[in-house]
Structure 1
Amino acid sequence: MSTRRGRCCVAGCNNPYNSLYLLPKSEPVKTKWINFVFEENVPSTLPKFVYVCSNHFTLDSFLNRAQYKAGFAKKLLLKDAAVPTVRDPAAHPEDSTSEQSQTRDVACQTDAKPLTKSAGTQLSMKTCHVRYRSSGVLRTDTFSDTDSLSPAAGLIFNTSTHIKWPSKRPRVELEEEDDEETLMDTSSVAAPEEQDYTFDPAETDTTLTETADMSAQASCSIHKTRKYIIYENCIMELFEVCPVCRRSCSVRSQSIGTFIRVEQLCKNCQYSRRWSSQPVLGSTPAGNLHISAAVYLCGASFCTFEKICSTMNLQLFKYDTFRRHSRLYVEPAIVHKWTHWQNETLDRLSERERVIVGGDMRADSPGHSAKFGSYTLMDLQTNSVVDIQLVQSNEVGGSCHMEKEGLERSLALLEARGVTLECIVTDRHPQIQKYLRERNINQFYDVGHIEKGITRKLENISKMKGCAKLRKWQRSIKNHIYWTASSSATGPERVAKWRSILNHVRNVHTHEDPHFPACLHPLKGSRDRNKWLVAGTQAFYKLEKVMTNTRILKDITKLSPHHQTSSLESFHSVILRFAPKNVVFPFLGLLCRLYLAALHYNENAGRAQATSSTGHPLFKVNFPKASKGQCTIKQVKTRPTFKYLDDLQDLIFEHVLVDPAPYMDAVLKIPTPPDLCAEYERPGEEEVISTLVSRFNHQLVGHQHICPDHLETHGEPSSPHRLESRHVPDGTGNPSASSRSARNL
């Protein structure tokens, strides 16, 4: 059935704006159409063209009525078995185009239960209300979800007014009021004067492309809806011409970040509509909030993302808006997610009898000038992060005390939750050794830390004169360290195995020296006698001094035989993706990023080894820089998953955004230490500016006199330095130096 130009053949129907349909080809349906059109006076010879307009069909007779009402289709399509039954309709599906003055509000396709169905906008009129005066009378077509589909029910008509453009720029009452708004001037596109005023937009042969899962997309959550990049000129093409009279229209747009709203007004027929690119959640455009959440949750840098958007001229909100979204919605969701996961983990650990954990600290900068130290406690049996404690240096009197404080907090948490430890594996930090010894907690040392220290010393010794031969033995000595740690021997027997390496490098297999036990492997003959070390030489003396060090021999007995802290080192490398060391974060921001790193690690730590298409396991050959050309083999793991990101987004958009109060209360309970600069007296701005001097001519900025030679600034004596006085707020109202660096993420 196609739509043609002509008139409806039903008696009494003179509406020229309706879609017309020819008689169907199916004979049974065609007979019903003829009986309806001509009633009892069916002529013997039918006219060449018999038309029936859409006015005489019920609402459920059309295939694309919802798309047509939403403005996405220009003609109504009939079902194959549709039969006209409405003789004198009170309303019909095309009332929205039959009037010469009308308003369309394009409804959001992602609204779960919209109060009204209307063509066009993703925002309600109340949310994006523009203050303007109006005059005249306008009719708006709306219908609710409970409207009957029968022709008797019809549509609900409301009265409204014609839009008169305001003299001042309208203001959108949204959250980003401090953002710079972009408002386009009212523009009109010239249209030909010889337009057909009786043109029916429903008769245009335009096919609406529909995806198979359109209904599924409309019913899913807002943050799960697919999104696209739309160019501005492509949007404006949709509003240049009035869909009713085909005349040019006045169009104005307003944007806030990634959100844009377009208003169209036809001065000829007073047709108007409003379209918005995003739904609004409360007072926040959904797209703006989704970008803030995605950047934060992925551990990306907002500064980098801002540069990307600026390069491609993609509209984006300001950094202050990103910080507000993070503080109000994203960070409370992260804290809640981590707390919920940690409580479940601690409940499982409290039911186990044998719990072995590993602990280590990561500082936010190298050396002894670290501001933050994060202590991680990991369950080595399941390879999962159990607890993370963030310590600021001014809480404990210096960065060298942060590791002990972090361990104390973690052990106190485990004790409060009823977790009984069998042992803990750590490095050889002296404060940790003393604290655990006083608490009567069984402690083992990580083999990797001892191996790394010994290897570094032997590397330096091999560079000395007469010790180059020792370089060839470094790999054997490294393997000997791990072999000693993995043996079941304890006490003096383990020490004896440790000292046997000295006989190995001399190729001695007898007990000729009671201080050094015999090498345990069988004798191997070699023609090259130069590769063995000789007792009394400089190389052997240096090696003996390192391997028989008093502290080394004492710590050998406490090497962990099974579980090591290498998993903690892997977790620290994951932290670098979420909180790099070259960026300074505020306390709460760094803590949330540590939680994100832990959630990511716990979800992907147990990935299986990847296999090829034939089922063979995959490996990867690496050449680490520290190995000096020696290759290592590693397993290729399956691709990581990011289910925790989906859970966090569901939590943000479905719970935190609805009622943020309980989630914010949990964040406020986190003790936040004051900034490092809080203990110093902040000078006045004019005083600091007065000390700002040039490095070249020693002139004070803003003054004309020369700085005397004896005048000293806060730098070295007689070497004036330029001081920086610019501060950027970090979202909490504290203009600190760290907040300037925190803007990078």
Structure 2
Amino acid sequence: MPFCAAFGCASVHKKGCGVSFFSFPKDSARRKRWTIYCRRDKFAPENHSRLCSKHFSTDQLERDPNVLERLGYVNARIKLKGDAIPDVPLRVQAAPLVLPPKTRGAFAKRNKPYLLHEALQEVELRNGNDATPVTIHHDGEAPPNSEPKTAVEVPEPEDPPVSSSQTCTTLTKKCQASITVPQRTRRIQVSMTDKNCITVSKGVQCSSLFDGVSLREAAGLVPLAEPKQEANQFILDEDTQSDVEEDEDQADSDYDPFEEEDEESDEEDQVYENGIPLRTAVHPEEERQFLVAESCLAKLLEKCGICGSPCMSSLNFTRGTMVGTRSQCTCGHVCEWESQQCLNGMPWSNIFVAGAIVFSGSNAAKCLRLFQHLKLQMMSTSTFSRIQSAYVIPSCIFTWDYHLETLLQEYQGQRLTLGGDARCDSPGYSAKYGSYTLMDLETGKILDFQLVQSNEVKSSVHMELEGLKRGIQQLVDAGLQIDNIITDRHGMVRKFMRTEHPDKRHYFDVWHVAKGISKKLEAASKKRDCADIRPWIKSSVNHCYWVAASCGEDGYLKEQKWSSLTEHVTNKHEHCEHGVLEEDRLWIKEGSRAHKLFRDVVDSNYLMRDIPKLSPLHQTYGLEVYHSVVNSFAPKNTHFFYPAMMARLCVAALHFNENGSRHQAMTRAGAAKWQICYPKDKREYIDILRINLVERRRQFPSYQTAGQDADRLLGYQPPSLTSKWEPYNKDQLVATRRSRFARQ
């Protein structure tokens, strides 16, 4: 009975199951791509290995089964194309982690030297009382007396991950295992966290996107086995953890041993007496990067690692951020060294730099110019664009899609109150993009955003309505129940909600209404003999908020309370609910020109029609905060193409969902904790994006295959705005060019 070989797929070949099974192709290139798609560690397909039809889209089939079924061919045989590859992304569900009981970190660290000492004593008793240092020599190793004073450690390459360390033609290897335990000063060995208080780590005061789940599982990928460490790395267990015992839910995963602590910190700086050992086997996305000066690199390579003789080192090649050197000593030993690891010829740092630029919302041109001024070896702009299109953008979209799928599962069965608002990429009526965002106002989470290009609709003013239509349809298709929706006073949105969704209560955001009133009163106060209106602008805005908050769902009462404002400003308070006014106010004279213009604004038919729909409880100020976050990732003064804009919106939404609902820190006494400097945000979503970026490079080793999958993942992409214009001929433009400074 054949099973599907794809990870996480439970398809089994049974009669009438409706799923077809295909054997792995004999062509080595296609067979390799099928194998990579399965996402199974050390998987080698055999003759009985199969993939089911769930992993192939209709583009990979010779005949569309749906078309055949409509033509009357029911249960027709499905046949793949000759070059078919599985192109339906695997959706690996992140299983909840079952963690073992947490041990006391401080006690374990204090006890570790004694455990090691007892283990060594036991070994010494077995081998004899006179314990002497033991040096292990491999075959072809130089004798101990020929070892140079300055030894260069050369790790052996591993696959995977692919290593690009030193490779020497006559290099010998020696295993020098160290049993010295790095000791740290321990000035605080007590718990400083009261578990009865709802506290948040000082450095990080926000919630994570995926609590209690590993980063690779949060990224929708299969967990990888930990890389094998060298012999001198066995002493690293828990060395980077804090000595101070913390609550598991409040552990600060962003702890950096080199970060300077604040003076008000409850913990002391941790000092490593023997330093922090460098790791020789680590996943690419977890590896630290360092800046190394050219002179220091030359000094490191000035002596041979085999015989200790002086070397002549030269720069062998550069590949973006990667450099390769070649050293030859007087004895003829040749050593080639590369600065970083590669995968199929592409340095990992090239991908990480391109990803970091997008993940941080930076401007690519400015960043590359910064590296140029720093004289830092860096890739070109064209290389950045290719990496961004093939790897970075699809990683952002995949991460957001997986996060959104997980988030929407949590809202199943709930009745939602949504806030919606649009953002254009530039002010005025000539915007190219419009993004419409829908937020759950109860939790402050972004549930959906839609990117609309101006040539997809009649004009740029229609982008807001189109984005709202797509967003509501997306959430309805996901099975969510929308009760209330709060937007601004957009005319097309008002009509759409009234005609297409009468079952949903549509409210107007008070801030948008009050902002419009304030602008109109400000304009009226600048007219002749109308300066008396200006002192009442702020009071009118406050009155608008009071009407919305005090009337609940009663629209008629909202109208009556709002219309009483025109009598209040003339010192008539028959229908007012406030007490006796003791202060002397600058009242507007009834019947004056100022009072007439004030009434024209307050009692306008357009405004009185919208007052009953003021939102009584929820407002959309959270969306305004989100728009400021989007501005930092996709500034309005910078143009982005459609895929790049989509990717930056995905990163902005991930950032906001992780940092938008932070709890205030509490003291041990249970009081709210305040400080002048606002806490830094948390960026675990960056780790998830980096993991997906690395996984995408492994899955698609060439630009061609990565670009094809990027087009599929991005889906529909509207044509560019210049596609409807006939391109100019460059030679004709050059021939017709005239300059006022040209010589006759």
TM-score when scaled to structure 1?
Answer: 0.63
Structure 1's 329 and 143: CA in aligned 2 closer, same or farther, altered over 3 A? Answer: farther
Find the partner of 2:132 among 82, 91, 109: 82
Cα distance in structure 2, aligned partners of 1:115 and 1:617? 48
> Is the 1:106–1:274 contact (alpha carbons within 8 Å) kept by the matching residues of 2?
no
> Is the 2:390–2:710 contact (alpha carbons within 8 Å) kept by the matching residues of 1?
no
Structure 1's 479 and 690: CA in aligned 2 closer, same or farther, altered over 3 A? Answer: same
How far did residue 270 of structure 1 move? 1.2
Find the partner of 2:368 among 274, 292, 306: 306
Gaps in structure 2 of 5+ consecutive residues: 1-128, 177-271
- The match for 2:631 is 576
- The match for 1:122 is 165
> How many pairs align?
510
- The match for 1:462 is 525
Deviations 1:363-389 (A, max 9, x none): 111111111111111111111111111
SS at match of 2:599: helix
> Is the 1:122–1:275 contact (alpha carbons within 8 Å) kept by the matching residues of 2?
yes
How far did residue 553 of structure 1 move? 0.7
- The match for 1:494 is 558
> Is the 1:105–1:124 contact (alpha carbons within 8 Å) kept by the matching residues of 2?
no
Following superposition of structure 1 onto structure 2, how do residues 663-674 of structure 1 map, counting pairs within 5 Å?
Answer: 665=709, 667-669=711-713, 670-674=715-719
Which residue type is aligned with residue 733 of structure 2? V
Deviations 1:197-244 (A, max 9, x none): xxxxxxxxxxxx9955426x3343223222221111111123334455
Cα distance in structure 2, aligned partners of 1:564 and 1:641? 26
- The match for 2:685 is 644
How far did residue 671 of structure 1 move? 0.3
Following superposition of structure 1 onto structure 2, how do residues 140-219 of structure 1 map, counting pairs within 5 Å?
Answer: 140-141=171-172, 213-214=276-277, 217-219=279-281
- The match for 1:411 is 472
> Is the 1:115–1:144 contact (alpha carbons within 8 Å) kept by the matching residues of 2?
no
Which residue type is aligned with residue 596 of structure 2? Y
- The match for 2:35 is none
Cα distance in structure 1, aligned partners of 2:161 and 2:606? 74
Percentage identity across paired residues of the two chains: 33
Cα distance in structure 1, aligned partners of 2:433 and 2:135? 77
Which residue type is aligned with residue 618 of structure 1? W
Find the partner of 1:520 among 564, 569, 577: 577
Which residue type is aligned with residue 380 of structure 1? L
Which residue type is aligned with residue 438 of structure 1? T
Question: Which is bigger in relative contact order (C-alpha 8 A, separation at least 6)?
Answer: 2
Following superposition of structure 1 onto structure 2, how do residues 347-426 of structure 1 map, counting pairs within 5 Å?
Answer: 347-352=409-414, 354-426=415-487
- The match for 1:559 is 614
Deviations 1:652-689 (A, max 9, x none): 22454345769963652410111111001112112222
* More deviation, 552-561/235-244: 235-244
How far did residue 469 of structure 1 move? 2.1
Cα distance in structure 2, aligned partners of 1:113 and 1:469? 77
TM-score when scaled to structure 2?
Answer: 0.63
- The match for 1:731 is none
Which residue type is aligned with residue 107 of structure 1? P
Deviations 1:580-609 (A, max 9, x none): 111111101100100110000111111123
How far did residue 91 of structure 1 move? 5.0
Find the structure with the greater CA-based Rg.
1
Cα distance in structure 1, aligned partners of 2:134 and 2:435? 74
How far did residue 94 of structure 1 move? 3.1
Cα distance in structure 2, aligned partners of 1:467 and 1:99? 94
Deviations 1:144-182 (A, max 9, x none): 99xxxxxxxxxxxxxxxxxxxxxxxxxxxxxxxxxxxxx
SS at match of 1:122: coil
Cα distance in structure 2, aligned partners of 1:300 and 1:613? 39
* More deviation, 360-369/658-667: 658-667
SS at match of 1:422: strand
Given the alignment of the two structures, is residue 284 of structure 1 paired with residue 328 of structure 2, yes or no? Answer: no
Structure 1's 594 and 500: CA in aligned 2 closer, same or farther, altered over 3 A? Answer: same
Structure 1's 616 and 143: CA in aligned 2 closer, same or farther, altered over 3 A? Answer: closer
Alpha-carbon RMSD: 3.3
Structure 1's 113 and 499: CA in aligned 2 closer, same or farther, altered over 3 A? Answer: closer
SS at match of 1:252: strand
Cα distance in structure 2, aligned partners of 1:292 and 1:611? 39
Given the alignment of the two structures, is residue 536 of structure 1 paired with residue 536 of structure 2, yes or no? Answer: no
SS at match of 2:569: helix
Find the partner of 1:323 among 357, 380, 385: 385
How far did residue 274 of structure 1 move? 1.4
> Is the 1:335–1:666 contact (alpha carbons within 8 Å) kept by the matching residues of 2?
no
Which residue type is aligned with residue 280 of structure 2? A
Deviations 1:320-375 (A, max 9, x none): 111122122211111111101111222222321x2111111111111111111111
Cα distance in structure 1, aligned partners of 2:706 and 2:413? 30
> Is the 1:357–1:425 contact (alpha carbons within 8 Å) kept by the matching residues of 2?
yes
- The match for 1:176 is none
> Is the 2:438–2:449 contact (alpha carbons within 8 Å) kept by the matching residues of 1?
yes
SS at match of 1:506: coil
Structure 1's 279 and 407: CA in aligned 2 closer, same or farther, altered over 3 A? Answer: same
Cα distance in structure 1, aligned partners of 2:162 and 2:425? 52
Structure 1's 561 and 124: CA in aligned 2 closer, same or farther, altered over 3 A? Answer: farther
Cα distance in structure 2, aligned partners of 1:142 and 1:601? 50
Find the partner of 1:618 among 674, 688, 693: 674
How far did residue 80 of structure 1 move? 8.7
SS at match of 1:519: coil
Which residue type is aligned with residue 259 of structure 1? M
How far did residue 257 of structure 1 move? 2.5
Given the alignment of the two structures, is residue 474 of structure 1 paired with residue 500 of structure 2, yes or no? Answer: no
SS at match of 1:676: coil
Structure 1's 113 and 594: CA in aligned 2 closer, same or farther, altered over 3 A? Answer: closer
Cα distance in structure 1, aligned partners of 2:686 and 2:376? 24
